[in-house]
Amino acid sequence: MAKQITRIPTPVPAAKRTRVAAYARISEVKGNTPVSLSAQVSYYNQKIRQNPAWQFAGVYTDAGISGTTTSRPGFQRLLAACKRGEVDIILTKSISRFARNTVDLLSIVRDLRQAGIEVFFERENIRTLSGDGELMLSILASFAQEEAWSTSENVKWGIRKNFEKGMTNQMCVYGYIWTGTEFIINKTQAEAVRYIYKRFLQGARYSQIIDECAAHGWQAYWGGRFTIAAIKMILSQERYTGNTLLGKTFNPYPGHHGMKNTGQAPMFFAEGTNPVIIDQETFERAQIALAERTKQNQKCVHNQTLTVFSGRVWCGPCQRRANRCHQYRPQGQRVIYGWCCPAKAKGKPHKCAGGALREDRIKHITCLLTDKPEFSNELFDSYIERIELVMPGQATFILVDGREFLVRYKRGKTATMPTWDDVKEVTKK
């Protein structure tokens, strides 16, 4: 079947509209070729004309030709039109329709890119001028190839090329140093990573791991102590296995911020992109353990223990009943309980300015206000009506007799207990 070019001239050139062309190709093997081809032509015709921002720049087609670029006359015509500067965007169904192999594909796409021409692959949802468009393209192209020639080198090459151009935004990976062209292992950090995986799989708590890392002198990526979030991030960083997962975020619209990709866009897994720190099996075990622990931790929030303080501690700013929360200490693993706003306890983005107050401080302040040497549940129950967490470091104690005291307390592990100097009577008259 001969080439078909559908071109409808536009008499009045619209000012600054994007000129869009399409490329369609079908193989004769599948039968009813003419129908399929004309269907594609009318599909693109309609699609381009329906968009008011676009100017129709032609639909180029090839049929029954499965050879290389040079033997596709429709494709050659399209490239010639691009060279003449008549096209801004090329729409095409899929990578396999556009080029037969990676080398062809990448060289064509790069030439077009140099000229500022974008190719949009509809099935794969890839725009070649977008952030990691070319990177994804090179990986996909290797899958699309029919010939069984070494693909791994091409994939690696594609990734390396893109690293050079700074196309990936994930250069800050704990355990590695980005040299500007590749990732090399940061020995100290890699040691910390292996230790974190080992201790986590042994069942150590996050706070334990954090303390132990501090004892080893290991610091977080930007310095200082690790946070639980940082430990979790390390435990779920698939880069340590030597591979890279691409497309973890996607852009729904041009200019939009990247959103977490939960299946809206394709994800790509590239193997052997950086040196290995954690073997695949250990990594997979960690993923299972992570999921289990998250489940357990979620249970704890709902399993509130009834104590004498229950229902007596309130968040000042949002007037919610405070939740009992706990904190593990390093020595002897004694559990420290405290009370804080439920929004904070569930780990939600906390917009509430309320503070948290440890139970040992509540007990101490109760003794202070009632002038009793020792705390008991009866003491609290008979003297204290309500505690309001005003802000971090400040709480109001409302007594049964109506008096109100604002208490300032120091926070942190080594903080001293409040004294009468930190207490101010604020009884409402």
Q: Would you tell me which residues interact with Zn ion (CB under 5 A)? A: 315, 318, 341, 352, 354
CB closer to Zn ion, 79 vs 352: 352
To Zn ion, the closest distance from the beta carbon of 428 in angstroms equals 21
CB closer to Zn ion, 58 vs 342: 342
CB closer to Zn ion, 134 vs 388: 388
C-alpha–C-alpha distance, residues 135 and 156, integer Å: 10
To Zn ion, the closest distance from the beta carbon of 323 in angstroms equals 10
To Zn ion, the closest distance from the beta carbon of 427 in angstroms equals 24
Query: What is the 3-class SS of the chain, one letter each residue?
Result: CCCEEECCCCCCCCCCCEEEEEEEEECHHHCCHHHHHHHHHHHHHHHHHHCCCEEEEEEEEEECCCCCHHHCHHHHHHHHHHHCCCCCEEEECCHHHHCCCHHHHHHHHHHHHHCCCEEEECCCCEECCCCCHHHHHHHHHHHHCCCCCCCHHHHHHHHHHHHHCCCCCCCCCCCEEECCCCEEECHHHHHHHHHHHHHHHCCCCHHHHHHHHHHHCCCCCCCCCCCHHHHHHHHCCHHHHCCEEECCEECCCCCCCCEECCCCCCCEEECCCCCCCCCHHHHHHHHHHHHHHHHHHHHHHHCCCCCCCCCCEEECCCCCECEEEEEECCHHHCEEEEEECHHHHCCCCCCCCCCEEEHHHHHHHHHHHHCCCCCCHHHHHHHEEEEEEEECCEEEEEECCCCEEEEECCCCCCCCCCCHHHEEECCCC
To Zn ion, the closest distance from the beta carbon of 390 in angstroms equals 11
CB closer to Zn ion, 26 vs 343: 343
To Zn ion, the closest distance from the beta carbon of 317 in angstroms equals 5
To Zn ion, the closest distance from the beta carbon of 328 in angstroms equals 23
CB closer to Zn ion, 74 vs 354: 354
**Tokens 């997962």, located at residue:** 245
C-alpha–C-alpha distance, residues 416 and 196, integer Å: 32
To Zn ion, the closest distance from the beta carbon of 346 in angstroms equals 11
CB closer to Zn ion, 205 vs 321: 321
To Zn ion, the closest distance from the beta carbon of 290 in angstroms equals 29
C-alpha–C-alpha distance, residues 193 and 185, integer Å: 11
CB closer to Zn ion, 95 vs 395: 395
Long-range contacts at 122-129 (CB < 8 A, ≥ 24 apart): 122/91, 122/92, 122/93, 122/94, 123/93, 123/94, 123/95, 124/94, 124/95, 124/266, 125/265, 125/266, 126/95
CB closer to Zn ion, 59 vs 315: 315
CB closer to Zn ion, 57 vs 389: 389
CB closer to Zn ion, 138 vs 394: 394
C-alpha–C-alpha distance, residues 409 and 365, integer Å: 9
To Zn ion, the closest distance from the beta carbon of 309 in angstroms equals 16
To Zn ion, the closest distance from the beta carbon of 88 in angstroms equals 53
C-alpha–C-alpha distance, residues 318 and 102, integer Å: 58
CB closer to Zn ion, 79 vs 387: 387
To Zn ion, the closest distance from the beta carbon of 315 in angstroms equals 3
Hey, what are 143's tokens?
């899958």
